[in-house]
Structure 1
Amino acid sequence: MTHWFHRNPLKATAPASFNLYGVATTGAAAKACSDMRSARIKLLELFTDVNCNMEKMKTAVDAFFSLLLGFITSLDGTTQENKLRFIQNFKWTDTLQGNTVSAQQDAIFDLVSMEFNVALWHTKHASRLAGKEDVSVDEAKDVHRSLKTAAGIFKHIKDNEVSRLVTAPEKGKDLESRVLDTYIIQSQAEAQEVTIARAIELKHNSGLIAALAYETANFYQKADHTLTTLDPSYSAKWRKYLQLKNSFYLAYAYCYHGQTLLASDKCGEAIRSLQEAEKHYSKAEALCKEYRQTKGPGTTAKPSEHLFFTKLGAYIRNTLEKCQRENGFIYFQKVPPEAPELELKASYGLVEPQVFELPALGEVWTKDLYAAFDITQGPKDDKAKVKEEEVTPMKEPDLKPQKDVGCLIS
């Protein structure tokens, strides 16, 4: 497959102690806090483990979230706020604005920030698999499933979680709607790239491939437009990626639309469509150069040297030459001055986000356990006042590019 995707860095977080001495009045309550701390550490470790797969990630996610929900879900049979929700402070960085730290004393803030990182992990997992030269059918399915899962988690955060925060997200930060929308749309578009690759491999008809490519190009354009009002100092590089992918898939769409026209004996229009494909491909090449030169968070890469990119350029040239030969020997049709309008709608292969659901509340969280936390006492000063932990950036694996890939995946 050897596909390449831009990736922003993972969010980093300070350790959360859950040391509620004085509040946790029984051994069982103290153990629940200790287990939550351990489950959080385990999940954070998996984000940078290159051997982690989707099953391991889900197990770790369910283990931590099922415990954390004990600080969020109402457990006393009333509609009142969980008394433990605001007892622990959480710190998280942002994927776009570097090591700038946001802090909220709110368990829901940790829940949504961790969900965000889980979604990012799924995009990075997909990227690692898609960057291989020889991707099996099962691996391609994993790439597709991982990207749909990421889109679903980002959508769940936007639709169900952000509104529950006491402190609204700051503009341009990860939990702000424009950023979440961009991540959702990008994940859908990249999943459709996998669909297109599969359709080409199985030699599906050119009309279907052109329509899928056109829909994918539109996804990338929509994602780019979503970021237009963000500060260019941290959004410019990401936008260059979205723009080059938009141009790249417009080139795909015009190329395969040209083949459809040729099959309908419209050789002159086919030539014009292929010429338009060349134009968008050239624009994508220029944007690749701009992407490399633009500073900002994300992947360091040379996408124009990537195998899947160069193969399309050669395919467009060869198809155009074929159309021109056919026109010179058989059709003798005039080439229209204007490119054909692409009014293509894909009937198959369009990607929707995979619905994400939180796990059930952990069985350990009984009414008796909840009652064993006494927040009226407050944490004992002599034990609760520990050194405030700093946020250390995630050390993500430095993966070497595959043969002929010409890029580094963060």
Structure 2
Amino acid sequence: MSELLAIPLKRTLEVDFATELSKLIDTTSFQTASFFQSDILTVVDARNNAIAPDISIDGLSALKEYYVILLQLEKKFPNNQIEFTWFQTLSQKSRGSSQYSLQWEKLTIIYNIGCMYSLLALNSNNDAAESLKTSCLYFQNAAGCFKHVLDHQKNLETIPVVDDATLNALTSLMLAQAQECFWFKAVQDKHKDSLIAKLSQQIVDFYCEAINDAQRGKLIRSDWINHLKAKKAYFSAVTYYRIALSFNEKKQFGSVVKALQMGLQFINESTLSSQAKFKTVVESSLKEAQRDNEFIYLQEVPSELPSIKPALMVKPSSSATLLPSIKKDETLFKDLIPIEVMEYCTAYNERQDEYVEQRVTNPLASLNKLLKESMTTFQIPQGLTKVSEAELSHYQASLNNLLINNKNVQVQLDNIEQILNEEAFTDNQLRLKHGTLNWTLPESSTTNTAYYEKLKKLRGYLDEGSAIDKQTNELFQSIDKNLIGSEIRLPESNDHLTNKIKMIIQERNDYIDRTRRKSSEYRILPKIITSYKKNGTVDFEPIFIDHLKYFDEDLRYVNSTKEENIKLIEEVNLNKKNNPGKSGIEPKKMVRIDPRELYIEDLRYSFKLLDEVKENLSAGTAFYENLITSTSNLYNEVQEYDTARRAEKARLDKSLTFEDQ
């Protein structure tokens, strides 16, 4: 058995693992890289042994040892921190790809393990029974590796190790060659021709799949594809030759002739080196079968034969049996805090922050809000912020733009009216010149009515716009710009209760800030690291629950402030009751107005005026856009009307003048 294919190993560039891992440890771990020098050197040696292995069992072991190390690195380090470069070797031109991905490196090594199995299968093949069994197993192992890469590279965030179509083609090729080993052993053992035909038919099916995927893929060379086609044709011929022998045993001599004819057709399509010898056998058998059938058996040669059911004897080996796993006593970087633990710490920190917000800071902020809402003169209305000088200048510029648009529209409307007036004047002059009976054009007063009506409407809209613009400008000028343009700060209150509540609110705000700082400084990381080193497990929930007890004092403070809040609000309500003038009831005696009330009222009024100005500016901008569009449309219509009338007048004037002569 010969003319089998092996998949060449992918080639790579060296990676300075020692430097890269040292950087990672120093930047992502509490330990220093010097503590793990022995483990780092183990990784370096493993990759150096795996990147250019001998084609041997030792070379296969080197690849698998490095694969196990990559499994360990995945558990300890981020996936996207080290760059790997690999070169394709299937295509005629070697192409390199570089990716920051441990997973990509791992799948590439699995791909190379598959290549190694295919190379070992060829080296093991000497047609002896035991070597056929070994080669068959190795080809199935290679198919299992390629299928594993195909199934798992879908989860990569990088480019694939090899495109899917090529991987499918390689898997089918390996299975075809594994089936071929099984077929060859059956031939050696002289099994029934019908069984051998079924075995070879399965080889044909595998080669069909390999050819289809290879033609869709990006890497398999054309000479390989031609070889696959030659193998398919050869084993198609083998299938029909063996089925012909089976028909002969059943004395179906017409079918023998048909099978050998089809076998000869396929063997002629094959370009394998063994084709010539086999072709001689088929041709000789066909001549003999045709002669015997024509002179002795006289059976009809069928136009077609029943399909041959393939006998599948191989499948991709399971990656679970092919690929090794991590052994407990061979763990690298076992004292390094893994990423998973750091992620737990991050998650617990987020939960701690949420706990503090929900149980301490948010309740205190809500209590402050209730106090503020109970005081009518306590806080600045929401949404009121200082207006910048640039913003005020923008509003003034917008007002100026409205005036400019108004003037431009006015000029355009005057032009329209002038065109209509001049047209009517020339019509009247020509009518006087030639006489009413001779001047047969319709009078301008009957043709331009619609234009004058539109003009009148537009002037009305313009006048309305002018009035609103004037009102908006007066509103803007009446705004206290110094007030809204200055930093908004409430003046000091002359009310004792107001000042007391202000002080309490400030104390609570300070407490909120202190609690947040305390939470950010009191983290669970040291406790988790201690627990992980001691137990080696990631069940940290009991530790976290105990960790949160640190904030019990803050929870008690929140409960005490709730009671304080109730008393303060009751005091505020009592104060309002004793001073009903603030609720709209006429007081019986003079009450001094809180300066905060005066400030807030002035502020509210100025911002109310500003809101009206902004609303008018927005509406005015849209108004003038529409008015300008309507005016331009009317101008175009009037120009077209004037042009048409001029032409009609010129023709009629010329005609009447010619008649007079």
> Aligned equivalents of 2:205 and 2:115: distance in 1?
22
Query: Percent identity, aligned pairs only?
Result: 22
Partner of 2:240: 254
Deviation of 1:99 (Å): 2.1
Q: Show the counterpart of 1:106.
A: 101
Label 1:372 to 1:167 Cα distance change in 2 as closer, same or farther (>3 A): closer
Counterpart of 2:16?
Answer: 17
8 Å contact kept, 2:237–2:266 = yes
CA–CA distance in structure 2, aligned partners of residues 103 and 247 of structure 1:
39
Correspondent of 2:335 among 369, 377, 380: 369
| Structure 2 partner of 1:186 | 173
CA shift for structure 1 position 230: 3.7
8 Å Cα contact 2:140-2:314 kept in structure 1: yes
Q: 1:72 aligns with which of 71, 74, 96?
A: 74
For residue 256 of structure 1, what is the amino acid of its counterpart? R
**CA shift for structure 1 position 152:** 0.6
CA contact (8 A) 1:108 1:164 kept: no
* Superposition TM-score, scaled by structure 1 size: 0.73
Unpaired segments ≥5 residues, structure 1: 74-81, 286-303, 376-410
Q: Secondary structure at the match of 1:5?
A: coil
Give me the whole-angstrom Cα distance separating, in 1, the residues matched to 2:67 and 2:124: 27
The 10-residue stretch of structure 1 (141-150 or 90-99) with the greater mean CA deviation from structure 2: 90-99
Aligned pair 1:305/2:250, yes or no? Answer: no
Q: Distance in 1 between matches of 2:117 and 2:233?
A: 25
Q: Does 1:162 find its partner at 2:153?
A: yes
Q: CA deviation at 1:340?
A: 1.6
- Structure 1 counterpart of 2:142: 150
Segment drifting more, 83-92 vs 234-243 = 234-243
Question: 2:145 is aligned with what amino acid?
Answer: I
- What TM-score results when the alignment is normalised by the length of structure 2? 0.47
Rate the CA distance shift 1:327–1:372 in 2: closer, same or farther, 3 A: closer
User: Deviation at 1:310?
Assistant: 4.3
Counterpart of 1:202, as a letter, is: D
Deviations 1:206-252 (A, max 9, x none): 11111111121111111111233345x85422321221111111101
Q: Structure 2: 5+ residue runs without aligned partners? A: 26-31, 343-661
Distance apart, 1:332 and its partner CA: 2.5
Aligned mates of 1:105, 1:355 — CA distance in 2 = 28
Instruction: Spell out, residue by residue over 1:176-202, the C-alpha distance to the aligned partner (whole angstroms, 9 max, x if none).
Output: 211111111111111011111111111
**Aligned counterpart, 2:90:** 96
Instruction: Note closer, same or farther for the CA distance 1:126–1:366 as it changes in structure 2 (3 Å cut).
Output: closer
1:196 and 2:190 are equivalent in the alignment: no
User: How far has the Cα of 1:61 moved from its partner?
Assistant: 3.0
Cα distance in 1 between the residues matched to 2:147 and 2:331:
28
Kept in 1, the 8 Å contact 2:164–2:217? The answer is: no
Bigger radius of gyration, 1 or 2?
2
Q: Distance in 2 between matches of 1:138 and 1:227?
A: 31
1:109–1:165 CA contact under 8 A, matched in 2? yes
Counterpart of 2:203, as a letter, is T
C-alpha distance in 2, partners of 1:148/1:305?
25
Q: Any residues of structure 2 matched to 1:351-362 within 5 Å, and which?
A: 351-357=314-320, 358-362=323-327
2:131 matched to which residue of 1?
139
- Kept after mapping to 1: 8 A contact 2:39/2:333: no
In the alignment, residue 92 of structure 1 is paired with which amino acid?
Answer: W
Pick one of 292, 300, 305 that aligns with 1:334: 300
Change (3 A) 1:246 1:372: closer
Aligned residue for 1:298?
none
Report the equivalent of 2:635. Answer: none
AA matched with 1:253: T
- Give the Cα–Cα distance (whole angstroms) in 1 for the partners of residues 84 and 38 of structure 2: 20
Partner of 2:510: none
Classify the secondary structure of the residue corresponding to 1:91: strand
Shift of 1:311: 4.3
Distance, in Å, in 2 between the alignment partners of 1:234 and 1:57 is 25
Partner amino acid for 1:353?
Answer: P
Distance 1:230 1:60 in 2: 30
- Secondary structure of 2:63's aligned partner: helix
Q: How much does 1:100 deviate?
A: 1.3
Alpha-carbon distance, 1:26 to partner: 4.5
Partner of 2:40: 33
Q: What SS does structure 1 have at the residue aligned with 2:143?
A: helix
Does the aligned pair in 2 maintain the 1:122–1:146 contact within 8 Å? Answer: yes
Using the TM superposition, give the Cα deviation of residue 372 of structure 1 relative to its aligned residue in structure 2, in angstroms: 8.6
**Matching residue's letter, 1:200:** V
The aligned counterpart of 1:76 is none
- Compared with structure 1, are the counterparts of its residues 168 and 45 closer, same or farther at alpha carbon in structure 2 (3 Å cutoff)? closer
How large is the Cα RMSD of the aligned pairs?
A: 2.6
Decide whether aligned partners of structure 1 residues 107 and 280 sit closer, same or farther in structure 2, where only a CA change above 3 A counts: same
Would you tell me which structure has more helix in proportion to its own residues? 2
Structure 2 CA distance for aligned equivalents of residues 96 and 163 of structure 1? 21
Tell me the distance in 1 between the aligned counterparts of 2:51 and 2:33.
28
1:211 aligns with 2:198: yes
Per the TM alignment, residue 138 of structure 1 is displaced from its structure 2 partner at its CA by 1.6
**CA–CA distance in structure 2, aligned partners of residues 100 and 22 of structure 1:** 29
Residue in structure 2 matched with residue 288 of structure 1 by the alignment = none
1:323 corresponds in structure 2 to 289
Instruction: Give 1:32 deviation, angstroms.
Output: 1.5
More contact order relative to length (CA 8 Å, sep ≥ 6):
1
Q: Closer, same or farther in 2 for the Cα pair 1:214/1:22, shift >3 Å?
A: closer
